[in-house]
Structure 1
Amino acid sequence: MVFDKEIKFFDGEVFPEPNAELAGYSWLICEYQLNVPSPESIYAIVAAKSAKRSKGRWQLLGSRYQPEPHWFSQLVFALKYEGVDLAVIRSLFNALAEDDIRHSIEGEITGSYSRRIWFFYEWLTEKLLPIDDVTTGNYVDALNEKLQFGCSATKVPRQRINNNLPGVRGFCPLIRKTDAIIHFIEQGFNETAAQHLGNVHSDLIARAAAFLLLSDSKASYTIEGEAPPHNRIERWGKIIGQAGQQRLTVEEIERLQQVVIPDSRFIVPGIRCVGGFVGEHDRITNIPIPEHISAKPEDLDKLLAALFETYELMKKSGFHPVLAATTIAFSFVFIHPLEDGNGRIHRYLIHHVLAENGFTPKGVVFPVSSVILQRIQEYKAVLEQFTKPRLNYIEWHPTPDNNVHVTNETIDLYRYGDMTNQVVFLFECIKDTVETVLPEEVQYLARYDEVWEYINNRFDFPHKSLSLLLNFLRQGNGTLSKRARSKEFAALSDSEVQAIESKYRDVFGLS
């Protein structure tokens, strides 16, 4: 239970004021005991007539905003101030009698909110209410794009609704239109990256791209706690470099898994046929201790088909590439459709969506995994922000092989939800890549080439020895180690070493 009338708390949050009253989605969840995750923001009405303030998760409005204690009025309030929450709305419709829904809609049949609620009912449940089509009035948007990001609209004549939802019935996460995200979009990181590379020689770009590709591949394995041999890192890096070239399908996901995990002796490759979870096992009993429970195996075909359909819709409607990449990639890892390889393919999907939609410069991969590795705690937190609350709504028991078996309906937990925090995180990673990682790598290579040319013009080093010398200088921050001077480069005089070190430190700006 998320609400307690005696203690006055909701979803673990104590009421900010003794006389505050829940409103909108929180009121509906409480009144109908809906078994769904609560919205990130909790709306409540307080005594002051014109109050409008925030306190933690609480959004407090004055008494003049008070909706009537009826599901229809509370849902209208939610749509007006909170936006669309498909999980709550769908759960509410399941809790109401059809006659009650029809009667409330017919009471305001031409009203915009009434028509939107009617549309959501038929869209979510695939059931038609015994109501005649509306034939007059302006079309209204299903999603208020002042509050949430929508796609290009499809007209629905029955309710005279513009269906601008960024997804399909079987899969439609939503993203709030926050100031932070709007600011990120306005910064145009794709254009900034193109400008950074515009005056750089193509050979330098190619070398930077190759390094970043390998770095990203290695980081993606490191995030999973793995240190595979170099050939596997190179092979996965090559696949990342091809991101955006193949259409997303189940077959493509299974092909990617084969590349990530070439030795499939210890897993069943392909889409899972059993339960799954992320977490540990009890050291004594070996019973699962889940941090996240994957979607049920019987739901995977529906979820993946709808996820791919949503991505096609996003591409056709010009949905912003970073919003699309977040929705597709993070939803994939939350669904967790494979026994192993989900995390690396999740990060590959970020590359895929950005590349296919022309957000990344041609031939260059943003090293998202490398940046994620540097922000690993933030990454874990943004994953848990979505997954942790959902554990409370999943009923399961351990299987004889110490897996999990889910016993209740959970598909809505994976196909509806809010991706706002995940979008902000990905934008921050892209910002780091474009403003720091990419230009620093290009600058490093340009400086490296300058030192290389200086030494190469003065000494007859073999290519291999010159590479080794520069490696030693990099490791020593511009100073050759005693071991290098006494062994590999013992032939160099003190004055020659001093000149090389001085040039290296000067070019790289080292003190």
Structure 2
Amino acid sequence: MQPVGYTQLISHHGIAAIPPAVTAEVRSVTRKEWIGDTIAVPAKMAPAPEDLLGQVLFAIKHEGINLQVLAQILPKIPEADIRQAFDASPNSQYLRKACYLWEFFAGQTIQRATDHIRQSYIPLFNPEQYITGDGEKNARWRIIFNGLGSLDYCVTVRRTDTLQALLDKSLLEKAAEFTDSLPKDILNRTLAWAYLHETRDSYAIENEAPSEDKASRFVSLLKQAHSSRKLDEEYLVELQNAVISNPFAQAASFRTEQNYLSNGLRGALGVTYVPPGPELSRSLMDQLMALANQPAMEVEPLVLASVVSFGFVFVHPFMDGNGRLSRFLFHQVLCQCGALKNGLVLPVSIVLRQNESDYLSVLQQFSEPSRAYWDVTFFDENQFQFDFKGHDALYRYWDGTACAEFMARATEQAIEQHLKAETLFLTRYDEIFRRIDRAYDVPNADLSRLVMFCLDQNGRVSGHRRKQYRYRVPEEVFDALERAYQKVVVDT
């Protein structure tokens, strides 16, 4: 089986790129067919392996836009070759896309024969295949750049069946309808629970148990997501300082040195991810903040929030606190898009922690293949030399499809399995409490605990609890609690 398109370009032309999710191969077929995630084509459809422009045009036509590869391969094509091809077929939309990108990545102008193109504008990313933005027109090639970001930093999110099915559920709209329907008291208590659990679980993902002071600061941080302040370096430094209690680890700016992630093993083998160098990191953060601050109105907020959150982790602009801040940014983008109302925060970190292996798998889809382009030399404890053998395009253009799918699933679970469950718990708690409080004279603090115990034990007040409270609560209250649970929970 002969690779063709992007896979062929990566493997035969020294391109530093993460293998694409969709590949193309020459197989024993009579026409183009999809076989799993592979596009199978007959030999007659495949350009010659040494035909760079032919391979590029095949890839753009059949596989879509992969800027990570195109940024590196297009400058290898001589201007005369691409000019000659365009002059011969000026109506080809795939050549127009290639020419538009060639001029950007090569930094030159194609001296084409015709001054004006009269064909209709075409989107660079096919909206049927990708989640796209509003679009910016390029009059020279009559191309609409509609990617998520810019040609300096662009995340692609493929419109897979899985992602589209999740987006079609209108999860955020339903969450807003749900919170609108809650009584004020229940809403406030549900929100208090959500803020606290998002805080605790966000720290738990980092294997930390926050002190009351840390938890309080992170809750305050989450509430800031609902403010209208845009992201900039000063604001992100403030946020980093808020989540890091060690004054020696608090940042004054984006990092000026190389950082890395480790699995705890000694030496270079223990280095599992190397983010972009400090200079590139700063450039990428400018682009990422612009994407977060000026969200395209046509972009689904869940998708935008997901790529900003994961993009922040991949850049890793601080020496510490990046994970917690990335989960804050997920909420911040949703709030700036107007997608989270009534002060709502989604307890997605509960889901991330409960599905930690899946969360790590999504992160590793980027971190593991990009790590292969770093030579890491170990000298001594925490002393390494890092040499990047790849290309900036690795970090500038990445596929965020798995990230968006994962966060959409996490959002659904956070709403359906946690927010609604907590609301139901509070509603049942209130009703059982009222029933007992009307019939018996029990101190509120004792009654509150007993109701909680009864709910936690699925309608039973254990012998241990009966003994513990026998001199503080009339004996008949214990049985009354169990009867109230039966009426409120089982019989309704």
- Could you tell me the TM-score, scaled by structure 1's length? 0.89
Map of 1:431 onto structure 2:
412
Map of 1:371 onto structure 2:
351
3-state DSSP class of the match of 1:227? Answer: coil
Q: Contact conserved, 1:34 with 1:91, CA < 8 A, in 2?
A: yes
**Do structure 1's residue 220 and structure 2's residue 210 form an aligned pair?**
no
Map of 2:424 onto structure 1:
443
Map of 1:113 onto structure 2:
94
Correspondence list, 1:44-443, <5 A: 44-50=25-31, 52-55=33-36, 57-69=37-49, 70-131=51-112, 133-245=115-227, 246-266=229-249, 270-283=253-266, 286-287=267-268, 289-313=270-294, 315-398=295-378, 400=380, 402-408=382-388, 410-443=391-424
2: CA distance, partners of 1:236 / 1:374: 20
- Given the superposition, is the C-alpha separation of residues 160 and 268 from structure 1 closer, same or farther in structure 2, using an over 3 Å criterion? closer
**Do structure 1's residue 495 and structure 2's residue 487 form an aligned pair?**
no
- Please report how far the alpha carbon of residue 321 of structure 1 lies from its aligned counterpart in structure 2 after TM superposition: 0.3
3-state DSSP class of the match of 2:332? Answer: helix
Higher deviation after alignment, 97-106 or 84-93:
97-106
- Given the superposition, is the C-alpha separation of residues 103 and 311 from structure 1 closer, same or farther in structure 2, using an over 3 Å criterion? farther
State the aligned residue count: 488
Map of 1:3 onto structure 2:
none
2: CA distance, partners of 1:335 / 1:422: 15
- Please report how far the alpha carbon of residue 269 of structure 1 lies from its aligned counterpart in structure 2 after TM superposition: 5.1
- Please report how far the alpha carbon of residue 177 of structure 1 lies from its aligned counterpart in structure 2 after TM superposition: 1.3
Higher deviation after alignment, 352-361 or 105-114:
105-114
- Please report how far the alpha carbon of residue 112 of structure 1 lies from its aligned counterpart in structure 2 after TM superposition: 1.5
Higher deviation after alignment, 259-268 or 112-121:
259-268
3-state DSSP class of the match of 2:271? Answer: strand
3-state DSSP class of the match of 2:476? Answer: helix
3-state DSSP class of the match of 1:407? Answer: strand
- Please report how far the alpha carbon of residue 489 of structure 1 lies from its aligned counterpart in structure 2 after TM superposition: 4.2
Map of 1:13 onto structure 2:
none
Map of 2:457 onto structure 1:
476
1: CA distance, partners of 2:376 / 2:191: 45
**Do structure 1's residue 462 and structure 2's residue 456 form an aligned pair?**
no
Instruction: Output the amino acid matched with 2:236.
Output: I
Map of 1:10 onto structure 2:
none
Give the ranges of 4+ consecutive aligned residues of structure 1 lying more than 4 Å apart after TM superposition. Answer: 266-269
Map of 1:8 onto structure 2:
none
- Please report how far the alpha carbon of residue 230 of structure 1 lies from its aligned counterpart in structure 2 after TM superposition: 2.3
2: CA distance, partners of 1:288 / 1:44: 34
Q: Contact conserved, 1:134 with 1:160, CA < 8 A, in 2?
A: no
3-state DSSP class of the match of 1:238? Answer: helix
1: CA distance, partners of 2:4 / 2:443: 75
Higher deviation after alignment, 443-452 or 70-79:
70-79
- Please report how far the alpha carbon of residue 254 of structure 1 lies from its aligned counterpart in structure 2 after TM superposition: 0.8
- Please report how far the alpha carbon of residue 51 of structure 1 lies from its aligned counterpart in structure 2 after TM superposition: 5.2
Q: Contact conserved, 1:278 with 1:293, CA < 8 A, in 2?
A: yes
Q: Contact conserved, 2:29 with 2:40, CA < 8 A, in 1?
A: no
Over residues 397-418 of structure 1, what are the superposed CA-to-partner deviations in whole Å (9 max), with x where a residue is unaligned?
Answer: 3365524443235432222111
3-state DSSP class of the match of 1:44? Answer: strand
- Could you tell me the TM-score, scaled by structure 2's length? 0.92
2: CA distance, partners of 1:75 / 1:204: 57
Instruction: Output the amino acid matched with 1:385.
Output: Q
Instruction: Output the amino acid matched with 2:446.
Output: S
2: CA distance, partners of 1:217 / 1:90: 40
2: CA distance, partners of 1:493 / 1:39: 69
- Please report how far the alpha carbon of residue 118 of structure 1 lies from its aligned counterpart in structure 2 after TM superposition: 1.0
1: CA distance, partners of 2:202 / 2:259: 21
2: CA distance, partners of 1:47 / 1:448: 65
- Given the superposition, is the C-alpha separation of residues 476 and 138 from structure 1 closer, same or farther in structure 2, using an over 3 Å criterion? closer
2: CA distance, partners of 1:156 / 1:203: 53
Q: Contact conserved, 1:150 with 1:165, CA < 8 A, in 2?
A: yes
Correspondence list, 1:7-22, <5 A: 20-22=1-3
1: CA distance, partners of 2:284 / 2:480: 63
Over residues 246-287 of structure 1, what are the superposed CA-to-partner deviations in whole Å (9 max), with x where a residue is unaligned?
Answer: 21111111111111112222565542221111113444xx55
Over residues 344-397 of structure 1, what are the superposed CA-to-partner deviations in whole Å (9 max), with x where a residue is unaligned?
Answer: 001111111111112223221111111211211111111111211111122333
Instruction: Output the amino acid matched with 1:235.
Output: R
Q: Contact conserved, 2:310 with 2:326, CA < 8 A, in 1?
A: yes
3-state DSSP class of the match of 2:340? Answer: coil
- Given the superposition, is the C-alpha separation of residues 264 and 292 from structure 1 closer, same or farther in structure 2, using an over 3 Å criterion? same
From 425, 433, 438, the equivalent of 1:452 is 433
Higher deviation after alignment, 414-423 or 385-394:
385-394
Q: Contact conserved, 1:181 with 1:423, CA < 8 A, in 2?
A: yes
Q: Contact conserved, 1:21 with 1:45, CA < 8 A, in 2?
A: yes
Q: Contact conserved, 2:231 with 2:293, CA < 8 A, in 1?
A: no
3-state DSSP class of the match of 2:149? Answer: coil
2: CA distance, partners of 1:291 / 1:34: 22
- Given the superposition, is the C-alpha separation of residues 257 and 449 from structure 1 closer, same or farther in structure 2, using an over 3 Å criterion? same
- Given the superposition, is the C-alpha separation of residues 124 and 30 from structure 1 closer, same or farther in structure 2, using an over 3 Å criterion? same
- Given the superposition, is the C-alpha separation of residues 434 and 478 from structure 1 closer, same or farther in structure 2, using an over 3 Å criterion? same
For structure 1, the residue ranges without an aligned partner over 5 or more in a row are 1-19
- Given the superposition, is the C-alpha separation of residues 436 and 287 from structure 1 closer, same or farther in structure 2, using an over 3 Å criterion? closer
Q: Contact conserved, 2:75 with 2:102, CA < 8 A, in 1?
A: no
2: CA distance, partners of 1:38 / 1:207: 47
- Please report how far the alpha carbon of residue 120 of structure 1 lies from its aligned counterpart in structure 2 after TM superposition: 0.8
Over residues 480-506 of structure 1, what are the superposed CA-to-partner deviations in whole Å (9 max), with x where a residue is unaligned?
Answer: 343432234434343331112221344
2: CA distance, partners of 1:331 / 1:403: 26
- Given the superposition, is the C-alpha separation of residues 495 and 466 from structure 1 closer, same or farther in structure 2, using an over 3 Å criterion? closer
3-state DSSP class of the match of 2:273? Answer: strand
2: CA distance, partners of 1:151 / 1:250: 24
Higher deviation after alignment, 95-104 or 35-44:
95-104
2: CA distance, partners of 1:67 / 1:179: 30
1: CA distance, partners of 2:77 / 2:380: 39
Higher deviation after alignment, 445-454 or 488-497:
488-497
Q: Contact conserved, 2:226 with 2:343, CA < 8 A, in 1?
A: no
Higher deviation after alignment, 349-358 or 58-67:
58-67
2: CA distance, partners of 1:475 / 1:434: 21
